[in-house]
Structure 1
Amino acid sequence: MSSNRFLIVLIIIFFYFSHHVLTNKEGMYLIVAPGTVRSDSIMHMSIALNNFRNSCWFNISLKSSENIRNGHIERLHGFQLVEVLPNSVKLVELQVSSLYGKRGKLEISGYRGIQSRDSAHINFEHNSYSVFIQTNKPKYKPGESVKFRVICIDHLTRPAQIIDQKIFVLIYDSQDYLMKHIADVKLVKGVFKGEFQISDSPVLGDWKIKVEIGGDAAAEKSFQVAKYVLPIFSVRILTKSNVAYAENKIAVAISAR
């Protein structure tokens, strides 16, 4: 697992002064959040309070920024106001909208009962979808046609809508030579259907279909090209000419050759 996927842990120890008591009172809160978040998903985190007498309220926001020609754009991808009881742990589910860029910032500030403001960088992952490749059979003979389909679904198993990234389908033979390149694939309700004709004298072995989205490998499927003869056999099942539905048992004779 890459380091950017490890959990980011923020531990803040602070001192505050009471208006009524001049002695310092010490408290600590612990925030645990993921280092990577996906578009259109739920970001899970926790906030723990220790050595507090009263509840504390926190503003939680996930933001990203972008420099443009005439200035600076800041986007808000999620916001939530959370109350945490004293000496307890609060589990937070932050709804994340569509993300832009590769990195953002998680900001947490005290709203009531605590005065603090902290932030941490969060990596963005845009491929909030899964890709699957299916073929009409696992083994093909020379000269046959390979029928396949690519299925893209989101994290809710609905048809994924991939608009801002190009999709490519690449077919390689067993020696990793590119045999077909389908560019600018268009999904119809999350599905693309394709077909590939194998030559009469192909390289035998394990071929593969690869799908790339936005220049990154998304899925891979292998199939076999081999010279083989399907076994010829027949199975006969004989029963009585008249069978009643109410009968518990039916006598049959099975023969195969």
Structure 2
Amino acid sequence: MAEKFRSKSGQILQLISVLQIPELPSSWVVIAVEVKGATLHFTKSKSIHITTAKNLVFVQTDKPIYKPGQTVKFRVVSMDVNFHPLDEMFPVVYIEDPRKNRIFQRQSLKLQGGLNQLSFPLSVEPILGSCKIMLQKESGKKIQHSFEVNEYVLPKFEVQVKMPKVIGFLDEEFVVTACALYTYGEPVPGLVTLSVCRRYSLCRSNCHNTHSRSICEEFSQQADTEGCFTQLVKTKIFQLRQKEYDMTIHVEAKVKEEGTGLELTGHGSCEITNTLRILRFTKVDSHYRSGLPWYGQVERRS
């Protein structure tokens, strides 16, 4: 600790000392300093809260909800108060089902570099509900982490595909956007794969070979900060004027969630039209008379 004092002559004096704090339970203590000199007598006290430094232990599972028969993957991380890894030893690690039965146990778990990873396969008919991963420290203190086992797990994010509803057979390109959002609205980080196809529809002798003759193009990219991937698709490869193919372009978007590998799919489609423009006459005269002008308005629809 360091304290500064001013003598009667105006000179600043600084006292520096190092105190070895004994092992005490967390509490407030008072440190008092008294300075005596020929011309100076000074006392000062300060309250300080002393707490025992504790290392940090984290338990993480690869996902919060599991289906029967899936493998629970989890890791244990230990760090000191300065976030440096600790090679800590845990006498026992176990998993409890909702009825407090131990369905997994590991003794003398030693962390290497402050980390250890474990896995446990669930049975095909487990007790459904909340399970707990329990870590017992050498001091006897227990640390726990919970996860759920459910028969049916709802998808936690949705994949949406946005594209034009109609494109003309003379259009040279169109835009496809695929976005993945969690049920609570946040973007999903992961790999997005777009499969854009025009299916072969003219069936002669080889009807079983229809799928192989479809025209498809694939694009892949990591989702952006909004959870989306936008691709400009050139139409030349899809031969929009060829009639032996469906007059529809289908898009399948697969999103593979980063970290868990969970993959969900979204779909979209657009119609190919051979109509260039649609004109509609509005506000026209109801009768036509020879030799006189005929008035009206024309509205163009794309």
TM-score, normalized by length of structure 2? Answer: 0.42
Higher radius of gyration, 1 or 2: 2
TM-score, normalized by length of structure 1? Answer: 0.48
Q: Which has the higher strand share?
A: 1
